[in-house]
Amino acid sequence: MNENIMIVDDDKSLREVLEIILKKEGYNVYSCEDGKLALQKIIEDGLEIDAVITDILMPNIDGLTLIQKLKKFNPDIPIIVITANTNLEVAIEALKEGAYDYITKPFKNDELKMILRNAIEKSALLRENLELKNKLKLNEPNIIFNSKIMEELYMKALVSAKTSVPVLIIGESGTGKELFARLIHRESGRASEPFFAVNCAAIPENLMESEFFGFERGAFTGASLSKPGYFELANRGTLFLDEIGDLPLSLQVKLLRAIEEKKVLRLGGKEPFEVDVRIVAATNKDLDEEVKRGNFREDLYYRLNVLKLHIPPLRDRKEDILTLSMYFLRKFCISNGRKIQGFTKDAINILENYSWPGNVRELQNVIERACVFETGNLIGLSSIPVEILESVKNIKKKDTKPAIDTITFSNFNLDDYLNNIEYELVSKALTEAQGNKKVAAEKLGISLWSLYRRIEKFKKDNLTINEG
């Protein structure tokens, strides 16, 4: 067991009794006579505590103040309040401040042990889930940006994630529509459930209905087994419908019905069954124009277009090109065992003045190719495709952005760059929330504890942060 328990009570005899009870259960027990000493040991001295048992009425710092300060320091620490029957209103107030539970005097030993064990197990489970979620995030593709327009889009996506309404993502091929769809799923309440991505343009029309809604055994020739459809596979999670503009009209009607009724019927099935699916759709087409042409149902369009994210092409956010290039270079150097340090100023000039019709996907491919073929320490013009060089040469000189200094990992720290972006996002959220950290954390789509950790990190870096 070996968990560390802190007892805070000005009644010495009660502290001694609790110590005996808890030590018999295998806990490491620490005790203090008031909240001031407890805070000193936990916050100032760095004593790691798995749970706190505290009285309410104490000298110096009382129990409610102790709870407030501990929860500000570590929102996940479980706190159990011991109170007299006459103090039940105060105990309820303690629960509002974040206490896990309360127990009244005189209490039964078994009751206290059960509450404590449940509190510790729940706290441990929350930590494990958070760690797992963070590990999964590390494996998720990153959305890298430096431009103001992408910062605003990122914040809008985080807000969208906290709802369950459909989201329509518009953007050219290669801009990162699926990355935003995955971000919305990852930061939503459905994060632990399936994310199922479907490329609507890649499915033969004669198979679409069975693929979307599934089929029963014997529904058609060759259906020797029953098969779930996309809606079933994404149940309780997120169904990402990429290239939704290529969906034929015949299936658009059935898709709309499934979204509206939240029910699907397998081919060959007798009874429809309920599904709980959050729809995120994406397209590179102008759906307003497709509706006018009769290629896309107006009612389906409005049903999908509850929240819209428009991802601009890379040529309209050139501030992101250098940041993305350095990110991809580091990524591919690691995966290919290369030690390339950066880009020459001529290469940077080309990268920042090319139009990138294939957007971020094209830039990634160019950097990967350059990383493989470059023989020097810096990526130069010889490692950039000829067609890109020719395209930029045809740009009028007055329209060409002046070259900047050579960029290497020694003078361009990507981690610092991303930390600065994170600092700006946190600062903006705190300002909009007028210093209310709980509201700011909700805006950012992170836990309150994560926000506190970031604020402390910024302070250590001597960065000013608005805490209200």
What pLDDT shows up at residue 260? 93
What pLDDT shows up at residue 401? 45
Mean pLDDT of 41-48: 86
Could you say which architecture CATH assigns to the domain 148-312?
A: 3-Layer(aba) Sandwich (3.40)
- Range(s) within the chain of domains with CATH label 1.10.8.60: 315-412
- Range(s) within the chain of domains with CATH label 1.10.10.60: 415-460
The predicted-structure confidence for 353-388, as pLDDT tens digits, reads as follows: 999 999 999 999 999 999 999 988 899 999 999 999
- List the single range of 18-32, 76-90, 100-114, 418-432 with lowest mean pLDDT: 418-432
Share of the chain above pLDDT 90, in %: 44
Across the beta sheet with 378-379, the strand order is 378-379, 342-343, 407-408
Of 182, 193, 135, residue with least CA distance to 157: 182
**Please, which pLDDT band fits residue 102 given cuts at 50, 70 and 90?**
confident
4-136 under CATH 3.40.50.2300, yes or no? yes
Tracing tokens 């896309």 back to the chain, one arrives at 296
Residues 6 or more apart from 296 whose CB is under 8 A from it? 245, 247, 249, 252, 287, 290
Distance of alpha carbon 362 from alpha carbon 76, whole angstroms = 43
Class of domain 415-460: mainly alpha
Task: Give yes or no for residue 139 having a pLDDT over 50.
Answer: no
- Range(s) within the chain of domains with CATH label 3.40.50.2300: 4-136
Mean pLDDT of 395-411: 51
What pLDDT shows up at residue 104? 84
Mean pLDDT of 207-226: 85
What pLDDT shows up at residue 324? 93
What pLDDT shows up at residue 138? 40
Distance of alpha carbon 223 from alpha carbon 130, whole angstroms = 42
| DSSP string of 29-94, one letter each residue | EEEESSHHHHHIIIIIS----SEEEEESS-SSS-HHHHHHHHHHH-TT--EEEEEEGGGHHHHHHH
The predicted-structure confidence for 168-181, as pLDDT tens digits, reads as follows: 999 999 999 999 99
What pLDDT shows up at residue 85? 64
Task: Give yes or no for residue 398 having a pLDDT over 70.
Answer: no
What pLDDT shows up at residue 411? 59
Average pLDDT, the chain: 85
DSSP 215: B
Distance of alpha carbon 180 from alpha carbon 157, whole angstroms = 7
What pLDDT shows up at residue 136? 41
Task: Give yes or no for residue 37 having a pLDDT over 60.
Answer: yes
- Check the CA dihedral 309-311-316-321 and report its sign: positive
Could you say which architecture CATH assigns to the domain 315-412?
A: Orthogonal Bundle (1.10)
Whether the full predicted model's pTM is greater than 0.85, yes or no, is no
